[in-house]
Structure 1
Amino acid sequence: MEKRTVISFSLFIVLFLVIVGAIQYLRIHSLHTLLPNVAEQQMNIDQLKSDASAKAGEHQLQIYLVRDEGDLAVETADNLRHGLQYAKLDVREVSPGAVGSIAPSPYTIIIFTGEDSSRWPFVAMKRYVEQGGNLVFANRFKDPAWNALTGIEEIGEYVPDVYGLNFEETIFPGYVDLNPPDDLFVHSVVDFAIADDANVMLSAEGFPILWEYGVGEGNVLYWNTTITNQKMIRGLFVQTLGTMPPAFVTAQAAIKLMYIDDFPAPVMDGKMKDVSATPLDKSVKDFFAEDWWEDMVDLAKDDDVIYTGAMIGTYEEEMELVDEQLIKRGEFPMLYFGRKLIAHGGEIGLHGYNHQSLVTADEPIDPTYGYIPWKDKDEMKRSLLQAESVFANYFPAETLKSYVPPSNALNRTGVDAIAEALPELRTIASLYTGEPESGDFVQEFEFDATHPNLYHFPRVTSDYGEERGSIFQMVDAIANFGVFSHFIHPDDVIDPDRAFGRDWDTMFTSLRKIVHDVRDQYPHLEAYTQHYATEKMITYQQADLNVTFDESTVYLAGEGLVNPSHFTIRLKPGQSLETGKFDFGTVEQWEADRPLYLVKLTSANAEIDIKGEAQ
């Protein structure tokens, strides 16, 4: 009896160990095929129902952009046109010869670009401003004939290499002063002496950069700089433009997007204390699972962000691994981080088969990357399809909807390969600013010119730091059209150069401050994955907005507007809007030296009363 009991017990132990081993094997290797699929969070991009009975005011803002010759004029005009259109401000382009026929009105703004003032009609423009029109000079120029309109009293020499930008008043909440050696902006200015009654709004190294000057019944803005041809000034240009008419409305897409590049991706071997400034006696793999990821989850919960990852199959340079090998290497990152990312409402996009940018030998790329160029488009397509097979193995119910170029480098061959190999992919997300001559894939928010179903959605800022130039760019995109689009790399923590000697706690503290400040200052920005951010941005851009004014009322109406829609309204000093909840939505005041309000529209039209008298 005892012998039989021992045998039974032994069999039980063996069976138990076999079952445990099988479970462990399945857990690591193929249990995911037996588990319920994790699915990406579904979101709706709703639209407001238009109302044909919406009232309209007597006045509508008219903005004219004078298209002139010369590189500075062309670059500035192109840049400002993008910024104005992103804010859903209608702009018409006119030639210098036609601008003299524009009728003056407090709701009309004419913008001159470039330096060739000899082509501009001074007499007509002086009469236009004196009778109540608004005039903007977007670049510095020397011409004493125009001094009566610009508030310039003495013209000095050109001064190159003037660094920074300082705010003499709060124009929009969140902007920071930039001082040397900050090199986000490097101006060429003229050493002007200006009238005492010219009001300086921006300066740099003691030079006035932007001032306003009253002439008769109208207003003039003068930009003593060459930086208005740069993307990172668009939002500030739009917001300063709003100081001119009696009231001014811009639209906000209200999008908040956070990328984690190289995630999920293979994790290196080694201990944190040996490969980074983070002095933990644990493996890199355990650090990312137990510390880094948990901190990122807390950040998402506390400050309302949703992550979009960009997966990597391998860090090997050559495309030598077959599908099964890639799948094997992806087991831990895809099963652990990939499932968790999706379970927390995130999206997995594609970074690539490997971390080699999709460029050929005859396309530009920074040689310091040391990347191996692809032979041709067909080789690129094969790599994309292999990476897609890895994704499909672990997430068979999902499709890849977004692509992030490795090192943000890409060219037309790669774009064509993406569109042909992955026809369901919707978005390429690279850079808003960069150096195309070094291979950076710099984008606007727009559909691809060749592949009309492919949308470009650039990322504006990056990193874990609080570099002031980066903060300025972040705020400027929000001031322009209400988009926060930021990306980080997990492996910055284990790269001594990119970590700049910081440990994880220090890096995370900086990142948390950035994200927390965005939530605090701009709570109207809504968190999205890339797929839904793209759909909302397209809806925002395609909607028709109609803004009109009476002396004491702002009228908002439109068709196809996102629900809810957000707008900024800027008024003259001495005037105000009533804040709170209304039938059309809500109104809240923002921190600025001149009256500035955020309106959230939950109805397709609104009539908003202006109180007080303009000073």
Structure 2
Amino acid sequence: MKDYRISRREALLLGGSALIQSLLPLPVIDEIKENHVPRMRLAAGPGESLQRVLLLYDSADPLSQMLYPQISMALDYAKIAHDDADIGPDARVADPSSYSAVAVAAESIWRLSDEEALKIKEYVAGGGNLAVLVRAWNPVLREVFGIQDRQEPEGILIESGLRFVADFFPGLQGLALEKQYVGMFSAMAATTVDGVQVLATSGDGQYPLLWRHKFGRGRVLYWNMDLLADREFRGFAVQSVLDVHTSAVMAIANVGLFHVDDFPAPASTRKLEPVAGEYDMSVVDFYYKVWFPDMMRLARKYGLHYLWIIPFNYNGLVEPPWDFDQWVHAKIELNGQEVPFCVYMSHQVAQGEHELALHGYDHQSLRLDWWMRDGIGEEEARRNMVSALKEAHQRWQEDSMGPLPFSYVPPNNLYDAAGLEALHEAFPSVKVVGGMYMGDFEHGGSREFGPEPWNDDLFSIPRWTHGYFDEPFTRLVALSELNMFGVWTHFVHPDDIFNTKSNYPTEDEPRNPYEAPWRGDPSDPNDGMFDQLDHLLDWNQEHYPWLRWMTTQEAYTEFVNYFDTDAAFSLGDDGITISLSKHPTYLLVRLNDGRKLDLMHVTNAQIINIHAGETYTQYVLKCMGQEVRLGLLASGV
């Protein structure tokens, strides 16, 4: 066997990228198997078969150890039933005949004997479906994969990026990711057989990296790369499984969240570029007169429900006495009077369908090591965290800021178990922690949606994308989250515009790397940061108009109900049956063979959106009961 099969971490050492550097600590395979809750089983109706995937992985293969957890978790989010089979110990394949599809999450499929590989070949030839989620080789399966080469193709490293050239799912066609986003990744210099449909190529167009293929009566999708080992590609794995079925169903939560970190917050009365040159305003006046009105315009245009996340100070205090000097320092003129900017804006932003959240007494992360300085011991640091938060609690009420916060977003996206304990003691109203999907788990990062692992009283809703700029990587991650289970979580800071290399020379990755203006040149619709954000939201609305923007408190209820509900899908030539254990949810139905939903025979569901792709039709439905029945019309009817 050739030794080109480098891992994603080895690729990092060779090339490196922002994407690969964000690789997250993955749960070990035993933990994945322990935490995986099998989807509910039901008997298929007459003429129907259950949608259930056989997921092949190899516990002894380093790449599969990274790839398999991502695929398994992604399918669980989408409530796609799957049985997971380890081919590592004896290189044997379970009988695939009872499954609607087989998904391969192990490049070591080359270890299969001819007899074992023939199980897969005969399964696909007879009408089975196969999603190969990593570049893999087996001589018996090369024709199944759509590979013409008789010998194993040469292993290569792709340095020119990744380009999606065809319609795989909404919003993806045309997306090009340069090396700075995906780094250097491995593939095979494979020649495809005639008739395959190439969906993605290397950035230079030289190598096919994703294609569809028909073998016998079966459908095949092949990923000639190893990028699906990254969390940023989870939604692509889900859609790959849907793509190989003639008809397929996934559940979606249908939740959109938009967070604004650090607003209202203490603001400078100085003039800073690039705003000074564009508006001749101080920072605080820009926020009040330009930035906030523009953000509210976007809210009205797209139906956003902001979560405004408040830190009371940036004073860095970790021991009493506590003060709120910065909170009341900046003033604005209102009705001939000077009033504290932060207090006034905290009243304004919570009006209507928006909500306030806590960022902390100050911008210190709720981690013991952040509070244990200047000789402060652990117990004193714990007491000081609680004390500071209780001061914030009191100030919240003194300034008439409305209901106590339901959500907490950790400064710097960092926290520890002691910090959450202090938070719960001082703010028992808080139920949601809005951390990040990426980062170090031990520092509060790498969070999944669901109960916070360090505190049973809290629920984690991680954010996946951030910033104002409509960039390819932002679209990639948003698409993955949307296509994993119908969710997009995004956040910005008001001071992103000031975070430039000119203002912060030591900043490695400034949030405004282009030193872009806010509005900029009116003749250029993408010149300013406002324009970029408007364009990003418009792109989302074009391709995912069904997404429900809501408050984070509303989202908490939606997520709790979603994860408390199991689902089973039964597929037939004439119809689809969906069974839900508890709460009605939303569904995404994908038809890939020319059939359509019979809109006159939809029971217990409302059709929210229909998207006609180049080779598929996608439906988003709202369930109105625990059993949904969908009629299907034959192709051409």
Find the counterpart in structure 1 of residue 465 from structure 2. 461
Q: Does 2:448 align with 1:444?
A: yes
The partner residue of 1:522 within 517, 540, 544 is 544
Unpaired runs of 5+ in structure 1? 1-51, 364-369
Find the counterpart in structure 1 of residue 407 from structure 2. 402
Report how far residue 106 of structure 1 moved: 7.1
Q: Does 2:435 align with 1:430?
A: yes
* 1:49-448 paired onto structure 2 within 5 Å: 58-69=48-59, 70-96=61-87, 100-104=93-97, 107-115=100-108, 117-119=110-112, 121-154=116-149, 155-175=152-172, 176-184=174-182, 186-205=184-203, 206-271=206-271, 276=275, 278-319=277-318, 322-323=321-322, 325=324, 328=328, 332-361=340-369, 376-395=381-400, 398-433=403-438, 435-436=439-440, 441-448=445-452
Q: Aligned letter for 1:414? A: G
Report which structure shows greater RCO (CA 8 Å, sep ≥6).
1
Provide the secondary structure at the position in 1 that maps to 2:350: helix
Distance 1:464 1:420 in 2: 35
Q: Does 2:531 align with 1:532?
A: no
Report how far residue 311 of structure 1 moved: 0.6
Q: Does 2:556 align with 1:556?
A: no
Provide the secondary structure at the position in 1 that maps to 2:191: strand
Q: Over residues 526-554 of structure 1, what are the superposed CA-to-partner deviations in whole Å (9 max), with x where a residue is unaligned? A: 12111211221121122222321221112
Provide the secondary structure at the position in 1 that maps to 2:267: coil
Residues 579 and 588 of structure 1 are in contact (CA less than 8 Å); yes or no, is this contact kept in structure 2? no
Report how far residue 275 of structure 1 moved: 6.7
Q: Does 2:480 align with 1:476?
A: yes
Q: Aligned letter for 1:210? A: L
Distance 1:254 1:230 in 2: 23
Find the counterpart in structure 1 of residue 22 from structure 2. none
Report how far residue 255 of structure 1 moved: 0.9
Find the counterpart in structure 2 of residue 47 from structure 1. none
Q: Does 2:615 align with 1:594?
A: yes
Q: Which moved more, 1:457-466 or 1:152-161?
A: 152-161
Please give the TM-score of this superposition, normalised by the length of structure 2.
0.79
Provide the secondary structure at the position in 2 that maps to 1:248: strand
Residues 278 and 504 of structure 1 are in contact (CA less than 8 Å); yes or no, is this contact kept in structure 2? no
RMSD across aligned positions (CA)? 3.3
Report how far residue 570 of structure 1 moved: 1.4
Report how far residue 486 of structure 1 moved: 0.8
Residues 274 and 516 of structure 2 are in contact (CA less than 8 Å); yes or no, is this contact kept in structure 1? no
Distance 1:179 1:544, change over 3 A: closer
Distance 1:215 1:281, change over 3 A: closer
Distance 1:537 1:492, change over 3 A: same
Provide the secondary structure at the position in 1 that maps to 2:93: helix
Distance 1:237 1:342, change over 3 A: same
Provide the secondary structure at the position in 2 that maps to 1:225: coil
Distance 2:124 2:416 in 1: 46
Residues 268 and 282 of structure 2 are in contact (CA less than 8 Å); yes or no, is this contact kept in structure 1? no
Provide the secondary structure at the position in 2 that maps to 1:424: coil
Distance 1:208 1:425, change over 3 A: same
Distance 2:622 2:636 in 1: 25
Distance 2:121 2:47 in 1: 28
Q: Over residues 37-86 of structure 1, what are the superposed CA-to-partner deviations in whole Å (9 max), with x where a residue is unaligned? A: xxxxxxxxxxxxxxx9x978621111122231222112111001111111
Distance 1:344 1:321 in 2: 36
Residues 57 and 554 of structure 1 are in contact (CA less than 8 Å); yes or no, is this contact kept in structure 2? no
Distance 1:275 1:245, change over 3 A: closer
Report how far residue 571 of structure 1 moved: 1.4
Provide the secondary structure at the position in 1 that maps to 2:156: strand
Distance 1:171 1:402 in 2: 36
Distance 1:517 1:581 in 2: 32
Distance 1:471 1:612, change over 3 A: same
Residues 253 and 487 of structure 2 are in contact (CA less than 8 Å); yes or no, is this contact kept in structure 1? yes
Find the counterpart in structure 2 of residue 485 from structure 1. 489
Report how far residue 478 of structure 1 moved: 1.1
Q: Aligned letter for 1:304? A: G
Distance 2:419 2:95 in 1: 46
Report how far residue 493 of structure 1 moved: 2.5
Distance 1:345 1:373, change over 3 A: farther
Q: Aligned letter for 1:408? A: N
Q: Which moved more, 1:212-221 or 1:318-327?
A: 318-327
Q: Which moved more, 1:415-424 or 1:321-330?
A: 321-330
Distance 1:549 1:453 in 2: 39
Q: Aligned letter for 1:523? A: P
Q: Over residues 125-182 of structure 1, what are the superposed CA-to-partner deviations in whole Å (9 max), with x where a residue is unaligned? A: 2233233322333222344344243232323322124343222321211124224344
Residues 112 and 137 of structure 1 are in contact (CA less than 8 Å); yes or no, is this contact kept in structure 2? yes
Percent identity of paired positions between Structure 1 and Structure 2: 24
Distance 1:130 1:521 in 2: 34
Residues 277 and 496 of structure 1 are in contact (CA less than 8 Å); yes or no, is this contact kept in structure 2? no
Find the counterpart in structure 1 of residue 33 from structure 2. none
Distance 1:374 1:278 in 2: 47
Provide the secondary structure at the position in 2 that maps to 1:183: helix
Residues 365 and 411 of structure 2 are in contact (CA less than 8 Å); yes or no, is this contact kept in structure 1? yes
Distance 1:99 1:538, change over 3 A: farther
Residues 253 and 482 of structure 1 are in contact (CA less than 8 Å); yes or no, is this contact kept in structure 2? yes
Q: Over residues 271-323 of structure 1, what are the superposed CA-to-partner deviations in whole Å (9 max), with x where a residue is unaligned? A: 35x67455323332222112111111111111100110111111112335645
Distance 2:91 2:575 in 1: 32
Residues 545 and 561 of structure 1 are in contact (CA less than 8 Å); yes or no, is this contact kept in structure 2? no
Distance 2:319 2:531 in 1: 40
Report how far residue 103 of structure 1 moved: 4.2
Q: Aligned letter for 2:178? A: P
Provide the secondary structure at the position in 2 that maps to 1:577: strand
Unpaired runs of 5+ in structure 2? 1-41, 331-338, 502-510, 520-527
Distance 1:240 1:457 in 2: 25
Distance 1:384 1:142, change over 3 A: same
Provide the secondary structure at the position in 1 that maps to 2:593: coil
Q: Aligned letter for 1:531? A: Q
Report how far residue 92 of structure 1 moved: 1.8
The partner residue of 1:572 within 592, 595, 612 is 592
Residues 274 and 515 of structure 2 are in contact (CA less than 8 Å); yes or no, is this contact kept in structure 1? no
Q: Aligned letter for 1:466? A: D
Q: Which moved more, 1:537-546 or 1:484-493?
A: 537-546
Report how far residue 492 of structure 1 moved: 1.6
Find the counterpart in structure 2 of residue 610 from structure 1. 632
Please give the TM-score of this superposition, normalised by the length of structure 1.
0.82
Provide the secondary structure at the position in 2 that maps to 1:153: coil
Report how far residue 357 of structure 1 moved: 2.2
Distance 2:222 2:622 in 1: 34
